[in-house]
Structure 1
Amino acid sequence: MRIHQTLWNAAKFRQFFDFGNREIANWFPGHMAKGLRQMKASLKNVDYHIPFSGRNPLFQESLDIKPHLLVLNKMDLADLSEKQAILKQLKREGVGNVLFADCLTQRDENIKKVVPVVTQLIESSPRFHRTENMEYCLLVIGIPNVGKSSFVNALRRMHIKKGKASKVGGEPGITKAVLSKIQVCERPLIYLLDTPGVLPPKIESLETGMKLSLCGTILDHLVGEDVIADYLLYTLNKHEQLSYVDKYELGEPCDDIQHVLKKIAVKLGKTQRVKAITGVGDITITVPNYSAAAYDFIRVFRKGELGRVMLD
């Protein structure tokens, strides 16, 4: 890595990402709009609301989610060197109750804090004060693919020792409707409503949209895996996170996505046979499969194998 750093200091990489005429800022599938309507209809039965990672202004405007707890999930993939700065910024925005979590870890100490925190917030709020019914129903909301269902399952696993109640997956759109109440704790008796991920109808910028797509919040094919892979390479170089060089045996850092994908394809044996027209007739040649290489590059990053990166 020291050699890579020396090469980095001498390299001339991109300072800005060229979005060209791409437009990815208007992705609002029908099931998202339907999910938002279902959330509104469910509020009369809900005592407390958890916007789970992602800051969709629709939640605040449409659902009136106060008080609430913000759970920032997948922290095993993020660089937390700026954790205190993040908390200060959220506090300036009026978010005082924040937990960092990794819901896939079997023993996440922060997940243990969720029930005490929400119980205290509910009991201290005049809006929800009551003595006749000690059953709580919470709504789990957030943008797609941030781990809402994993959060529900983690609480069940921790407090009532039961398995999965919500289906999970590595891409957005697994949960498409507000589910029925799922018990996650006995003392106090707490139920959660899992919900589909909802993005704003218009993402504020292409930069934000590209960050969301890199994290798997927007379906890859809607943006293009070649574009996502290029933005990933730009991001890794920008953050001086050069572990991809060793991972794919590149020899040195590179700013050319076609060159990087060719190297990845060759290393992984991802090739395809295509016909080529020549002066003496058609022949079949073997070429790198750039799509397969981009697929691997993106997913290796999402699994945390290329280091921890904070995109914001």
Structure 2
Amino acid sequence: MAAANFIPRTSFPAPTLPRAYFLGHHAKAIRKMREMTADIDLIYEVRDARAPLSTRNTIFDSIIGVKPRVVVYTKKDLSAIHPEMFRAWHPRGDYCTVNTHDHTSVKSLVNLSKRLCANRESFFGLRVMIMGMPNVGKSSLLNTLRHAGVGRRKAAKTGALAGVTRNISSYVKIHEDPDILVYDTPGVSLPKTIDAETMLTLSTIGSISVGLVDPTIQADYLLYQLNLVDPSGSLYIKYSPPTNDIEDFLTSYCLRMHRLSKGGYPDLLGAATHWVDRWRKGLEGRIAFDDFKNPSAYKEWEAAHDERRRKERGQQSDQKFRVA
């Protein structure tokens, strides 16, 4: 289809997907976080800057309570969301966008932390806990903070798949004078995601096990999102003309990337996995998910979440009444 006549999809048909990725070590981590929070001065709640709403875990709200919190958006170098959106969503300035490959951006997080806790005095220094969903970049953030702050190398394991960190670490010093001590924690998913599209987003950015969602569905959702970011198709034009048809796109991708199976047929499943993985790693450019062009998206998301929780509590009450 010619780019001038191309009209991108405005909605994505919700597939039937599992709505949960809540594992045993997630529940264990939540219990441990609750036990430790009383001795923590500041929380770094880490979210993926490509999917700032989908990677928000409301379980943390009950754990954090009134503790000072900085929302840290990692992978800003991979996100197509304009910085003005983050400022609109956090008018109090209690957030930071970082590139964990850039020491300058993480130093701004340290400075913000010191300002938030400027009046606090402790023999033990400033104690910080990192929280976030799986694979949003918590351990990478900790390693960069440590290297930038005290010149020491890797302190936590990192990886491209969700679930690398399984236990809460002992503290890691990331700054001296004042001492700032940070505890890394395992990524924790919601017991149940809000909807199928959130699950699609989490699978596409790698925040849940990649095997939970069919690679072709992930690729189709990625194509849909890329067309929303740039309807001209320029984000994938080197592989295919603008299209809404994932099979047409993957066929073109196979031919351009020489991904053919025996007999010379396009390996569509392999192409889907390969293409999505390249976007995950930032090899194809920047991407954005969620309602990334709406300055009110953050408040609207919170209002919708509160309404869903009220309905769920009402349904639970009705069930208890019927049982009684």
TM-score by length of 2: 0.81
The C-alpha deviation readout for 1:239-276, integer Å capped at 9, x for no partner, is 2262344332x2x2121111211222232222323xxx
Q: Which residue does 1:266 correspond to in 2?
A: 255
SS in 1 for 2:11: coil
Q: Which residue does 1:165 correspond to in 2?
A: 155
Measure the CA separation in 2 of the matches of 1:17 and 1:246: 21
| One-letter amino acid matched to 1:258 | E
| One-letter amino acid matched to 1:70 | V
State the shift of 1:14 in Å: 2.2
Measure the CA separation in 2 of the matches of 1:232 and 1:27: 20
Residue 23 of structure 2 corresponds to residue 45 of structure 1: no
Residue 301 of structure 2 corresponds to residue 311 of structure 1: no
Q: Which residue does 1:98 correspond to in 2?
A: 95
Q: Which residue does 1:289 correspond to in 2?
A: 267
Of 32, 36, 45, the match for 2:30? 36
Measure the CA separation in 2 of the matches of 1:297 and 1:243: 15
Of 3, 11, 28, the match for 1:8? 3
Count of equivalent residues: 282
The C-alpha deviation readout for 1:48-93, integer Å capped at 9, x for no partner, is 2111123211001133252111111100111243x223322234xx
State the shift of 1:38 in Å: 1.7
Measure the CA separation in 2 of the matches of 1:65 and 1:204: 25
- Aligned 8 A contact 2:225 2:288 in 1: no
* 1:19/1:61 CA distance change after superposition, 3 Å: same
- The structure with the larger Rg is 1
Q: Which residue does 1:277 correspond to in 2?
A: none
| One-letter amino acid matched to 2:65 | D
Measure the CA separation in 2 of the matches of 1:66 and 1:46: 8
Q: Which residue does 1:123 correspond to in 2?
A: 118
State the shift of 1:159 in Å: 1.2
* 1:65/1:103 CA distance change after superposition, 3 Å: farther
| One-letter amino acid matched to 1:101 | V
State the shift of 1:47 in Å: 2.2
| One-letter amino acid matched to 1:254 | T
Q: Which residue does 1:202 correspond to in 2?
A: 192
- Aligned 8 A contact 1:262 1:288 in 2: yes
Measure the CA separation in 2 of the matches of 1:15 and 1:171: 30
* 1:12/1:243 CA distance change after superposition, 3 Å: closer
Q: Structure 1: which 5+ residue stretches go unaligned?
A: 274-284
Q: Which residue does 2:135 correspond to in 1?
A: 145
- Aligned 8 A contact 1:59 1:65 in 2: no
* 1:59/1:306 CA distance change after superposition, 3 Å: same
Identical pairs, percent = 29
Measure the CA separation in 2 of the matches of 1:64 and 1:244: 41
SS in 1 for 2:261: strand
* 1:143/1:112 CA distance change after superposition, 3 Å: same
SS in 2 for 1:52: strand
State the shift of 1:168 in Å: 0.7
SS in 2 for 1:118: helix
* 1:301/1:65 CA distance change after superposition, 3 Å: farther
SS in 1 for 2:118: helix
